[in-house]
């Protein structure tokens, strides 16, 4: 899957989405996805395969299980881990999904 295809997949949820950041301010809820690093697979003293590690960050005013289910359904084809918490400084809730592309 390419990053364009990932963007299309996430956009289909109906939640505003951008890679890294939005150019304008957004109302909650919204998502951003980032590539914090790559997972590399070595073979024969070289890099055989590179898989980008993706973090999808879902921001909302409060914990919203229905919203999370929407995102998790879109990501059903991936093995992902999930972390969540409240951002006191920003006064918003963040759920982070991490997976290899």
Q: Tens digits of per-residue pLDDT, 6-40? A: 999 999 999 999 999 999 999 999 999 999 877 66
3-state secondary structure of 52: strand
Tens-digit pLDDT profile for residues 59-97: 999 999 999 999 999 999 999 999 999 999 999 999 999
Note the Cα 66 to chain centre separation in Å: 17
H or E segment at 15?
A: none
Give the predicted TM-score (pTM) of the model: 0.88
Provide the CATH number for the domain formed by 3-100 in this structure.
3.30.2000.30
In degrees and rounded to multiples of 5, residue 44 shows phi and psi of 55, 45
């Amino acid at each position: 899957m390419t990053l364009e295809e990932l963007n299309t997949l996430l956009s289909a949820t109906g939640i505003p989405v951008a890679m890294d950041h939005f150019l304008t301010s957004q109302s909650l809820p919204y998502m951003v996805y980032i590539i914090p690093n790559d997972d590399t697979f070595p073979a024969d003293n070289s890099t055989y395969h590179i898989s980008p590690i993706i973090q999808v960050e879902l921001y909302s005013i409060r914990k919203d299980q229905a919203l999370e289910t929407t995102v998790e359904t879109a990501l059903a084809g991936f093995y992902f881990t999930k972390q969540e918490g409240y951002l006191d400084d920003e006064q918003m809730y963040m759920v982070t999904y991490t997976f290899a592309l």
